Each structure stands twice: as structure tokens, then as C-alpha cells.
Copies of this chain bind each other. A is one copy, B any other.
Amino acid sequence: MSLPHAILTALLEKPSSGLELARRFDKSIGYFWSATHQQIYRELGKLEQAGLIRVLPAAAPARGQKKEYEVLPAGRAALTSWVAGADDPRPVRDPLLLRLRAAAVVGTAGLAEELQRHLDLHRCQLAEYRAIEERDFPPERDSEEDRLRHAVLRGGIGLETFWTQWLTEALTAVGEQAAGERGSGRG
């Protein structure tokens, strides 16, 4: 239920074609809601049929030609009511936590390398977010309209910070575990 609303948000910020949306989903909005161009094209079709968006008259609607979409009043209304609605947080579903749990049963062979790899990836992402924060939200200058966008970015920063801390801790635990397995001949 989120992808159509992600697209409406992106189109309100700037009318775009499908591929332009796909590229913007690789940055900005994609940081907390990723989507491929196939998903986006399918969803644009549905949104148009539902009367929430329309093709800009200027754009030629032929195959291979750019087709720009804009949000109609019904689309803005739908987004507004989605923002106000209720939607329970999804239960966590993280393969890495699952793998650590599995490792407690079958042993930690090969796991440390993978944790280290994830740690590097999360550090990298965190650095990227911090760079964006410095660039787009200089201290004491948040305008009213930027305050929410900044809060969203801080969400990303908080999550990456959590993962780097947790992975550092987990690496220690796995290291000690592996030592124990070697010591008792379980490795």
C-alpha cells in the first residue's frame, strides 16, 4: 500500500516521467522506500486509471517517448488521507538477525566475514547520510518546511548508527564464540 503513495509524493514534489522517478528512487525517497522501474511503470498505469494522476498534455504519449505525469486533486486528497490514516508497524524481518540465531545452533563458521562486510556497508551509508545532512540541513537554519525532511533523514542516520553499533558488538560475540568452538573442537 506504500508504493503508490511514494510515487504521489515524488510527483507532487516535481512532475516526472517513469524513468526520472526510478532515478529519484535511487536517491532521496529510495533511501526509505526503494522501487525498480518495472514496479513504477505498473503503478503509474494503475494511478492513472484510478484518476489520481494524469499525463501532461505537452508530452507525446508514444512508445519510446518520454511521458510526464502530474498529480490530480484526487491524488493529493488520497495522499493526505493516507498520511492521517492508521497502519501498524510491520514486525521486524531481518535475515541477519536470523542468521545469528541459526549460528547459535549450527556454529558460526564464515559468519564473522559477513558481519564485517555488513558493518562496512552500513558505515558507508551512514557517511553518505551525514554528508547529505551537512549539505542540506546546516545547523540552526531549518526552515519550517525542512523540519520534517530533516526528521526523516535523522531516521536513516539513527538506523545506520544502530546497525554499526550492533554489528561491532556482534562481531565481538562471534569472535569469542568461534574461539570457544575451536577450543572445544566444535568448529
Contact = CB atoms under 8 A, between A and B. Distances in A.
Contacts of A151: 100, 166, 169-170, 173-174
A186 to B, nearest CB: 10
Q: Range of interface residues on chain A?
A: 35 or more
A56 B106 CA distance: 21
The 7 A-B pairs at the shortest CB distance, nearest first, are namely A84-B110, A104-B148, A32-B97, A34-B91, A144-B180, A9-B102, A151-B173
A159 interface: yes
A107 interface: yes
Contacts of A144: 176-177, 180
Contacts of A105: 9, 12-13, 79
Contacts of A150: 173
Given A1-B95, A92-B156, 16 more contacts: A2-B98, A8-B102, A12-B106, A31-B91, A32-B101, A83-B107, A85-B110, A87-B95, A104-B148, A108-B148, A144-B177, A147-B176, A147-B177, A151-B169, A155-B166, A162-B162
